Homo-oligomer: A and B are copies of this chain.
Amino acid sequence: MAAVDLTTHPGHLARRLQQAHYLLWNAMVSEEITSPQFAVLNALVAEPGLDQRTAGERVGLDRSTIAEVISRLGRRGLVDKVRDPQDGRRFLLRPTEEGLRTHRKLTVRTARMNQVFLAPLSAAEQTMFFDLIRRVADAAEGLRNPAEPLVAQG
């Protein structure tokens, strides 16, 4: 009987946080467009003409996942996808008119949802919250890229 207290495990907390967010998103923002889909759409609004891989990089999705998300956004008529005439390997992505409208609408709702989500924290705590999570996530992502050999599997 040497069970562990999961509330001191950041991974477990991260998962629970994300689940909680997922539910709130569904209730307050959209049942059709998901949070990752909005993130991608947002990236394309900021930088129309991105290719898939770069768009994925902007929001933190790998090539397989971004392909699926784009395909769903395309099916809904929110983004256009055309082959790059300069480089036949790429597809250039941009929001459609409908995509822009949807983005505007969801931006408002998302802001409202974030307020509710973060309501338990004071303004100072919210700043802290962003800062801490960002630092941990950035550092962990940094462990990925460096040419340094990571821990050998024991």
Identical chains in the assembly: 2
Please tell me the size bucket of the interface on A: 35 or more
CB-contact partner of A14 in B2, B9, B133, under 8 A: B133
Assess A117 versus B140: contact at CB under 8 Å? Given A36-B15, A60-B19, A151-B28.
Answer: yes
Docked CA distance A18–B4 (Å): 20
CB-contact partner of A137 in B17, B59, B138, B153, under 8 A: B17
- Which residues 108-134 of A have a CB within 8 angstroms of B? 110, 114, 116-121, 125, 128-130, 132-134
Docked CA distance A23–B11 (Å): 11
Cβ B144 vs Cβ A23 within 8 A: yes
Cβ A130 vs Cβ B27 within 8 A: no
A-B contact pairs, 6 of them (CB 8 A): A3-B103, A4-B110, A10-B114, A15-B35, A16-B137, A119-B139
